[in-house]
Amino acid sequence: MPVAKGSTIDPARTRAAILEAATAVLYERGLDGIGVAELCTRIGVSKETLYRHFGTKEGLVEAMLRQRSERVVQWLAAAAAAAGDDPRDQLAAVFDALQQWYDDPVFRGCAMLNAAAQHHVETVRAITARHLDRYLELLTGIAERAGATDPQVLGRQLLMLVEGATVVAAHHGGAGAGEHARHAALTLLSAAS
């Protein structure tokens, strides 16, 4: 479906639609795995329009990574919040949500880590670092509420489990990865409080 014909009611809508469609394609093919020309035909938009909205391919990539990071973190936070007040339930809910993600046929690992692995550009690496920051914040919060002796350290260990589970799921098969990681996380949580 073409993004728009002629003038669109709202240019911002066009930008959002491009971002949405480009995210899917770039995640599937890799940032350097598809050229701007083919990308444009795939998402049904002209190069001129894309470049007016994002200036540069890098600009598009950055906008997409920012949006994606935002969404993923909020999604996990929501899953935790929906699990009730018990920090253990919240932690379990995070890994259950991750397992859901791993089971998605289009799952190809963490988009931010994939991007940082290929683009050594500073802004991309900064977005990835910020992404891990927000993960860490979420997990440290759970550790604190669970009364961990050292919530900072436990949070970081849980972050490693989250990222490790994602890596293993992406490159070694995702079946049961979330469950195994959840079990390990709860063990660490028990031992640390």
| Smallest separation (angstroms) from a copy of itself to the CB of 22 | 17
Out of 25, 30, 42, 49, which residue is the one contacting DNA (CB under 7 A)? 49
Nearer to DNA, 49 or 193 (CB): 49
Nearer to a copy of itself, 61 or 161 (CB): 161
- What lies within 8 Å, CB to CB, of 15 at 6+ separation is 53, 54
Q: Does 122 bind DNA (CB under 7 A)?
A: no
Nearer to a copy of itself, 16 or 179 (CB): 179
CA distance 173 to 193: 32
Q: Does 119 bind DNA (CB under 7 A)?
A: no
CA distance 22 to 17: 8
| Smallest separation (angstroms) from a copy of itself to the CB of 52 | 27
Out of 24, 36, 129, 160, which residue is the one contacting DNA (CB under 7 A)? 36
The option from a copy of itself, DNA, none interacting with 138 (CB < 5 to 8 A, set by class) reads: none
CA distances from 7 to 4, 14, 25 (A): 7, 10, 25
CA distance 62 to 127: 8
Nearer to a copy of itself, 53 or 182 (CB): 182
Q: Does 177 bind a copy of itself (CB under 8 A)?
A: yes
- What lies within 8 Å, CB to CB, of 154 at 6+ separation is 139, 140, 143, 148, 188, 189, 192
Structure tokens at 149: 């002796």
